Amino acid sequence: MKNVLNKIWKSYSIGVVVVVVGIVLSLLSPRFLSLDNLLNVMTNASLVAIVGLGMTLAIASGNFDLSVGAIASFAGCISFSLVPSIGVPASMVAGLVAGAVVGLTNGLIITELRVPAFIATLGMLTIVRGITLIYTDGKDLYLFGQTGYKVLSGEYLFGIPTPIWLAVGIAILLGFVVNQTRFGRHILALGSNFSAAQRSGIPTSRVLWAVFSIVGVTAALSGLILSSQVLTANGRLATGLELSAIAVVVLGGTSLSGGQATMVGTLLGALLISMVNNGLNLLNVPIFYQELTVGVLMLGALAVNVNQGFDLGSLLRRKA
Amino acid sequence: MSENDYRVLLEVEELTRRFPGVLALNQVDFDVRAGEVHALVGENGAGKSTMINILAGVLQPSGGKMLLDGTPVVFHNPADAQRAGISVIFQEFNLIPHLSVAENIFINREPTRNGMIDWTNMNKRAAEALKRLEIDIDPRVPVSSLAVAQQQLVEIARALAFDARVIVMDEPTAALSEHEVDSLLEIVRSLAKDGVGVIYVSHKLEEVFRVADRVTILRDGTHILTDITSNLNEEKVIFAMVGRALVHGKCPDRTLGQVVLTVKNLDVENSVRNVSFELRAGEVLGLAGLMGSGANEVVEALFGLRKAHADEIVLHGKALVIENPRNAIRSHLGYVPNDRKKAGLLPDLSVKQNISIGILERLRKVFWIDGNGEQASAETYRGKLNVRCSSLNQRISNLSGGNQQKVMLARALAEDCNVMLLAEPTRGVDVGAKAEIYTLIDALVDSGMAILLQSSELPEIIRLANRVVVFSSGQSRGELADADLTQESVMALATRV
């Protein structure tokens, strides 16, 4: 019995936590389980989840990307500024391309200048923020009357808001990529042992360029959705997004040391943080305490992650 | 020498350690006396590492007791063991590369004056500890600037500085050249003479017989025998370790085919000058030499891992330009690196994925990996190489060293190579798996494979290669074959400067 419990815990710990937290919150606040509230929770989760899914690839490859918040803001501003001249759909594409270009630049800096990802993307964070502020002259960009842009955040398909569809779609796509394709296998090999990957004939540089480009695109998409929610873009958008993105990946169970990835975990990680924030709101907990709670949650998850999975069985035994 | 002359320092009784699903140690008795070298021998998975880790305080036993000077002791952590005078020198050193030799020796117990580190005193005492070992290392240089052999000596000096009464050495010669092994064994003997009890853990029986007073053999977590070395011989020990005898001697007769690889005047940056050789189908050409002789550098250069230049490299009649491993693999060169852990294993991936990592292009179906094809191909190589794993989806890091090494060979074979570059193919592999790998290499060359074998183990080179190029200080010192090829003749060339 304990063995079975332990196995379930090891494979689905984040899922178990999400369910438990869900039950607790629904007992504490009857509003939690209302459809509107649940959709709201999931929409908020999707914003971080989308960039978190890209980040999962980066972390699986043994790297991570600190510039995603800056990319999100950059993509939003580029896209918004182009709407009057090229229209909504093309400007969205332009925003995503901008994200890909910054991501590719990250990859090139890492492989060609041999700068560690931490430094490279930290530098790019500041550079891209700077460029965005220069480009917008530090002002907000509004889309007056261009409600078409709302398709990214305000529209419903079969009663479910677009961001949720996007997050689930990207999770399925990237889950397939990482588990079933050669590119995915190369990412895992790289994150598991870089020299061994090189010696297996893997084109390591190209793999990293692709990984960081994908992270760039997911970051840009998050930025576009964020901007479309308020129909405003500026150079201060999505500050700190990099940390929440890394947090949801870790919460989801992807090891920071690379070599493995779980997209479902990342989705659930994002959902958990969103649920906790929402629950604390419903319970009228002051905002500062919410920050504290989420911080504790992340530390706990990180501790579990570093200790290679939490051995529930041994805890039970110790008690017995 | 009478056994009873020496006082028992450390004794374990019915030591047992359980892991989920595995009994790693089953009621093992063992003791070490002051002034003796006691060898602990066994295949990988026999329980040696578990035993060492318990002695070091890293693991706690599930049963049995430990007595120090006849008093029961319990080590909750490595610091407990160290305080009790037990120092363990692990295969992977516990040195901090950026710190100096002296800082490493006195780590966590730096001599201080007025609350600050007393550098003069520390360096002086470190120099004394090194002098006791008769080694000439400046205590102020960073450990990272030392060769592996010297780092090992620093570990020993640290153990002495801790006033260790029992020193456990785990595979201490794994990364040493023959010459360095000699001086290490001398030091081990002199430690024992000073009254230290040394537990010497090794695969290399030759060393065991040279250095040990007594030998204890473990197999599958149980104690098989303990005896005075003079009562034993290699055959007896191997039989006790694996339950079967091992073939020794020279390689079987080989039918050589055409020349498949010609290397003319190869220079490798910073290591090798002007090396030429030919390799035929159906042949194992040995590249022998002590650590740093250049033999391994030649192999790495051919696989595109080092900057090199040659007048001519011809593979199957075509000029070969190798820029990186990818090109080398495309030219059907297979490679098994000398350090599996560092350069071969993908530890987070499964056995299957480790085998197929180089052939994913071939396994492509539309734009994903053909799962059935991958399974089938991995299954083939598992059978061919007799890889023992509970499932192909098992993580490779859970396999024994020997089986991991077979997977490394499987990866190269799957890539469809016809010339194989093997570097230290049985490093960190137990005796049983070693024999299997030898048989496998014989079978491969029988089927027409050409193998370039770099090994620093002389018996291995003699057993496998029908021809040997001997290296020392980056140069080829000559070629040996047939009757001229003996351990002595290779050694004579390898030690020429």
Per domain, the residue ranges of chain B are 3-242, 246-332+417-497, 345-410
**CA within 13 Å, CB half, B454:** 24
User: Does B358 contact chain A (CB < 8 Å)?
Assistant: yes
Q: What is the mean pLDDT of chain B?
A: 87
Nearest to B122 by CA among B136, B109, B135, B141: B109
ipTM of the complex: 0.83
Q: Which helix (H) or strand (E) holds B19?
A: strand B8-19
Sign of the Cα torsion A243, A244, A247, A249 reads: negative
State in words which class domain B3-242 has. alpha beta
E strands, chain A, are 141-142, 156-157, 160-161, 232-233
Distance CA A123, CA B34 (A): 59
Distance CA A127, CA A120 (A): 10
Query: What per-residue confidence (pLDDT) applies to A7?
Result: 60
Query: What per-residue confidence (pLDDT) applies to A11?
Result: 63
Query: In CATH, which superfamily holds the domain spanning B246-332+417-497?
Result: P-loop containing nucleotide triphosphate hydrolases (3.40.50.300)
Chain B closest-CA separation from residue A165 CA (Å):
24
Quick check: is A144 in a domain?
yes
Instruction: For residue A196, give the nearest of B324, B343, B367 by CB distance.
Output: B343
Quick check: is A85 in a domain?
yes
B347, A186: Cβ pair inside 8 Å? no
Q: Are strands B284-289 and B450-455 parallel, antiparallel or unpaired?
A: parallel
Query: What per-residue confidence (pLDDT) applies to A318?
Result: 42
The answer to whether residues B101 and B154 touch, using CB atoms and an 8 Å cutoff, is yes
> What one-letter code names the amino acid at B248?
H
Among residues 407-426 of chain B, which lie with CB inside 8 Å of chain A?
A: 411, 415
DSSP SS3 for B124: helix
The answer to whether residues B452 and B287 touch, using CB atoms and an 8 Å cutoff, is yes
Interface test with A, best of B300, B332, B357, B407 (most A CBs within 10 A): B357
Written as one string, the DSSP assignment of A118-132 is HHHHHHHHHHHHHHH
Query: Can you give the residue range of the structural domain that contains A303?
Result: 36-307
pTM of the predicted protein model: 0.77
Between the alpha carbon of residue B398 and those of residues A8, A12, A92, B393, the distances in Å are 21, 22, 47, 11
Nearest to B488 by CA among B454, B459, B447, B448: B459
For residue A13, pLDDT over 50 is answered with yes
User: Does A199 contact chain B (CB < 8 Å)?
Assistant: yes
Quick check: is A302 in a domain?
yes
User: Does B474 contact chain A (CB < 8 Å)?
Assistant: no
B349, A189: Cβ pair inside 8 Å? yes
Average pLDDT over residues B313-318: 90
How many structural domains does chain A have?
A: 1
Instruction: For residue B348, give the nearest of A176, A188, A195 by CB distance.
Output: A188
Quick check: is A220 in a domain?
yes
| pLDDT classification of B145: cutoffs 50, 70, 90 | confident
Distance CA A242, CA B351 (A): 34
Tokens of A115: 């700068």
| Chain A CB contacts of B18 below 8 Å | none
| Cβ-based neighbours of A112, under 8 Å, separated by 6 or more | A205
Quick check: is A265 in a domain?
yes
First to last CA, chain A: 14
pLDDT in tens, B195-219: 999 999 987 788 899 999 999 999 8
Quick one: how many helices (H) and strands (E) in chain A?
Answer: 13, 4
A201, B342: Cβ pair inside 8 Å? no
The answer to whether residues B85 and B198 touch, using CB atoms and an 8 Å cutoff, is no
User: What CATH number is given to the structural domain containing A242?
Assistant: 1.10.3470
A199, B335: Cβ pair inside 8 Å? yes
**CA within 13 Å, CB half, B190:** 13
Q: Which helix (H) or strand (E) holds A238?
A: none
pLDDT in tens, A197-252: 999 989 999 999 999 999 999 999 999 999 998 889 999 999 889 999 998 998 88
Interface test with B, best of A3, A6, A177, A199 (most B CBs within 10 A): A199
Distance CA B42, CA B399 (A): 17
pLDDT in tens, B223-258: 999 999 999 888 788 778 776 555 567 888 888 999
Tokens of B382: 């598992």
A259, B349: Cβ pair inside 8 Å? yes
Q: Do B3-242 and B246-332+417-497 have matching folds?
A: yes
